Amino acid sequence: MASQDWFDKDFYAVLGVSKDVTPAELKKVYRKLARKYHPDSNPGDAASEAKFKEVSEAHSVLSDPEQRKEYDQVRAMGGGARFTAGSGGQGGGGFEDVFGGMFGQGGGQRTQFRQGGGGGFDDIFGGMFGGGGGFGQTSGGYRGFGGPQKGRDMTATTTLDFQTAVVGETISLQASNGKPMKVKIPAGVHDGQKIRLRGRGEPSPDGGEAGDLVLTIAVRKHPVFELDGQNLRVDVPVTFAEAALGATIEVPTLGGDPVRLRVVAGTPSGRVLRVKGRGVSTKAGTGDLLATVQVAVPAHLNDKAREAVEALAAALPSENPRDDLIARARA
């Protein structure tokens, strides 16, 4: 952008709006013009491309409250004056006249602008024209002029059954515009997890990058299994006799046949038995099935069973299994 553009280019006229245009009206007008003149809509049309850059430049300044304020001040101050190279003579209305007045200097004095360090050329013009890195620069725009905007992100939620969350699957979702979309759910997603799908949000209003879709996952509880990272957990009840004497038991797996596990004699409630490779398979590897032993206590005993338990209690060593717990609590 030539240095005199802020003085003699009417950005309001470029967009066809009044000086008291509201931000909402400005945005609406800009989107309409951007769609009309965008290079993607007019391939090979140099005039449309030039108009698009002109429109983007105007919107870039007027949509920023600080830049718009500075632009209005500069326009009011400049009165249509142009920057001229100056010949060192006494001619008026040039670069030195305008900035001499701005910085408290006489019309015949020169102002020196330096690059680098504090207070140099870039600092003065960066503050004056809203660019952070030098004269005439704006951030993130179409060839330096503001340009296409990224579309807005969308959010959505979906509820998966436990099996789908564990193994992964491609599911169908309906977008806010009513169109269906296919979404790949990776294996091992957990309840409450958010997945960002790049470019699956709202399209850009002026040909830029589409927004993202942020998908929140809800997973239905399974009656038997729980997901623990890449591992699956399951509580397995065993009888007192199996835990005391030892046994081989069957343990269910997710979506497969049960596996047989050995419970060694004297296994306490809460011990975890591991089945390798029967957890969740992801790119990072495959987890295990973790079976937690729960000793099942019979709720009802007949007379004969009660006598047998009483005889067992009498035959066992006299000890209190809570002694160690109480001692550690006191410590």
CATH number at residue 252: 2.60.260.20
Contacts with 64 (C-beta within 8 Å, 6 or more apart), sequence order: 130
Q: How confident is the model at residue 71, as a pLDDT? A: 80
Beta bridge partners of 155: 214
Which range of 7-11, 79-83, 233-237, 325-329 scores highest in mean pLDDT? It is: 233-237
Average pLDDT (319-324) is: 84
Report the Cα 309 to chain-centroid distance in Å: 61
Domain that holds residue 287: 225-299
Contact assessment for residue 198 and residue 260, using Cβ atoms and an 8 Å cutoff: no
Do 230 and 130 belong together in one domain? no
Do 129 and 191 belong together in one domain? no
- Strand-pair category, 213-219 with 154-160: parallel
Average pLDDT (240-258) is: 92
Give the pLDDT band of residue 78 (cuts 50, 70, 90).
low
Do 40 and 166 belong together in one domain? no
Does residue 181 have a pLDDT over 90?
Answer: no
Window from 57-61, 122-126, 275-279, 294-298 with minimum mean pLDDT = 122-126
> 191 in helix, strand or coil?
coil
Maximum CA extent, the chain: 124
Do 161 and 197 belong together in one domain? yes
Rg (CA), the chain: 37
**Rounded CA gap, 27 and 71, in Å?**
18
Give the pLDDT band of residue 88 (cuts 50, 70, 90).
very low
Average pLDDT (141-153) is: 67
pLDDT tens track for 92-105: 444 444 444 444 44
Reported as half-sphere exposure (CB side, CA atoms, 13 A), residue 35 has a value of 8
Number of compact structural domains in the chain:
3
Residue 176 lies in a domain: yes
Do 116 and 208 belong together in one domain? no
**Rounded CA gap, 262 and 271, in Å?**
12
Residue 60 lies in a domain: yes
The single-letter DSSP state of residue 178 is S
